[in-house]
Homo-oligomer: A and B are copies of this chain.
Amino acid sequence: MKILTVDLGTRSYPIFIGDGLLGTFKAITEYAAGKRILIVTNETIAPLYLSQVNSMFAGFSQDVVVLPDGERYKTLDVLNRIFDALIDGKHTRKTTLVALGGGVVGDMTGFAAACYQRGVAFIQVPTTLLAQVDSSVGGKTAVNHPLGKNMIGAFHQPSCVLIDVDTLKTLPEREYRSGLAEVIKYGLIRDLPFFEWIEANVSALLERDPAALAYGIERSCQNKADIVAQDETEAGIRAWLNLGHTFGHAIEAWEHYEGLLHGEAVAIGMAMAIEMSLQRGHLSDSDVNRVSAVLDKLGLPLLPPQGMTPDIFIEYMQRDKKILDGGLRLVLLECIGQAYICENSPVADVIRAIQASIKRHGAGLEVR
């Protein structure tokens, strides 16, 4: 087992990474605030792993909320089911919420913990690659609004994060590949050696080789922990983590969160951000092709959905919460392994980048 630390002073917490942890890692109980927990999970994950979480917390009073599975349920309405369960069960300020599932479960459980009685403890037990390498670490919690993703939320750090890589064995292929988009992101924004390692280990990653997985998750979490420790509330470099996300969120919102998966949308968005970095003179054409090739080999899409024009992108991007007072604020690359923030990107430049990315991938690479 590896233990990383998210260093946030009195709110620091550990990330435990290993296999066979779920059900056996009883030390997790030390991170509960009291002797009661409410486990929040979903219909897909409950039959697979709920009993293992139950047995880890033997001796605790345990309640469970099982949510429907999917990003479209990440709403205030569904969030209210968690509040109902907490209040019906008379949970006090000393309760602990346990998020067992992917990013949706983690984000909603964390936000419920942030708001219930103005803040209670919670523990992240992520079961998807996306949640393990990204959303479970760093304390960003939220629900979506019909017009924008993660528009309603809070910063609320978990007490600990338990990552059992064995849970990835049951993860559907498409979701697994979607998670790889966020892994690649860390290489692109601040870790060239990690990007090179990913390039060299494409096959091992696609085969879910346990050693490759463990290393990829650990290094991703270390990158995330470093960034969060430097900039908890996204006043600065934490925004790098949004590489491709402003484009990606536009896709997800336009499809009402019922089309491409988050990581798929981010992959398309990263391709566009990289194209724009090229147009601004930072990347070479071969850099762009190199990044595109890795995304493509890992089975990620590079073209936006049919019918989603550059104008639609702009419309939705202007609603994104990362946009400040009209100007489009985007994360771009200075080079592979180094992100920067481009303030007030002209809309015309963004449109040009979207068009160039569509042209490059529509013409060159296989369309998935």
Contact indicator B93/A321 (Cβ below 8 Å): yes
Contacting pair B155 A118 (CB below 8 A): yes
From residue A1, how far is it (CB to closest CB) to chain B in Å? 32
Residue of B nearest to A80 (CB): B76
A145: chain B residues at CB < 8 Å are 83-84, 87
Q: With contacts A90-B318, A94-B324, A325-B34 known, is A83 near B118, CB below 8 A?
A: no
Inter-chain contacts of A153 with B (CB < 8 A)? 115, 117-118
Q: Which of A142-159 contact B (CB under 8 A)?
A: 142, 145, 147-148, 151-155
**A321: which of B35, B92, B151, B326 is its contact (CB, 8 Å)?**
B92
Question: Are A142 and B154 interface neighbours, CB within 8 A?
Answer: no
Question: Does A116 sit within 8 A of B, measured CB to CB?
Answer: yes
Q: Are B151 and A83 in contact (CB under 8 A)?
A: yes
Binary contact track A171-215/B, C-beta < 8 Å → 1, others 0: 000000000000000000000000000000000000000000000
A230, chain B: closest CB distance, angstroms: 18
Q: How far is A318 from B88 in the complex, measured between Cα atoms in Å?
A: 11
Are B94 and A325 in touch, CB under 8 angstroms? Answer: yes
Residues of chain B within 8 A (CB-CB) of A140 are 118
* B-side contacts of A142, CB under 8 Å: 118
Q: Does A362 contact B (CB under 8 A)?
A: no
* CB-based contact B154/A119 at 8 Å: yes
A-B contact pairs, 24 of them (CB 8 A): A36-B325, A76-B76, A76-B79, A83-B145, A83-B151, A87-B145, A87-B147, A87-B148, A87-B319, A88-B147, A90-B318, A92-B325, A94-B324, A114-B154, A116-B152, A117-B151, A117-B153, A117-B321, A118-B140, A118-B142, A118-B153, A118-B154, A119-B155, A119-B233
15 more contacts with CB within 8 A, not counting A93-B324, A94-B325, are A35-B325, A76-B80, A84-B145, A87-B147, A87-B148, A87-B151, A87-B319, A88-B147, A90-B319, A94-B324, A117-B153, A117-B321, A118-B140, A118-B154, A119-B233
